[in-house]
Amino acid sequence: MDKLELYKKVLLTEGEDHQINMCIEECSELIQALCKYKRGKPDNVCEEIADCEILFEQMKLLFNQDERVEGWKAFKLDRLAELVGYEEEE
Ligand SMILES: [Mg+2]
């Protein structure tokens, strides 16, 4: 399956505003699933992570800022590694 083409069709068919609302909704479902997990209740964390990842990929396409997102990720991963004293093995 060509995910990029699928996401383009979804954005065209459902509309950008609708998919932004879906992303908001899925993020809140993940928050709720994590809260349930923390309280030791049955949760659907994995399903909600999958939903969020699918919507995040659509948001990157919608905002056409993949390079900026990747730049931020690299910066934040470096900062995280520094915070925990992680060093890559050579
Ligand atoms: Mg969901």
DSSP character string of the chain? --HHHHHHHHHHHH-HHHHHHHHHHHHHHHHHHHHHHHTT----HHHHHHHHHHHHHHHHHHHT-HHHHHHHHHHHHHHHHHHHT-----
> Which residue type, as a one-letter code, is found at position 85?
G
80 CA → ligand 1 middle, Å: 28
90: pLDDT strictly greater than 90: no
- Where residue 67 falls among pLDDT bands split at 50, 70, 90? confident
Q: Which residues surround ligand 1, an ion (CB under 5 A)?
A: 26, 29, 48, 51
89 CA → ligand 1 middle, Å: 37
65: pLDDT strictly greater than 90: no
pLDDT tens, position by position, 10-63: 999 999 999 999 999 999 999 999 999 999 999 899 999 999 999 999 999 999
Strand, helix or coil for residue 24: helix
- Where residue 66 falls among pLDDT bands split at 50, 70, 90? confident
pLDDT of residue 64: 87
Please give the C-alpha separations between residue 88 and each of 12, 70, 80, 82, in angstroms, as whole numbers.
42, 20, 13, 11
pLDDT of residue 73: 94
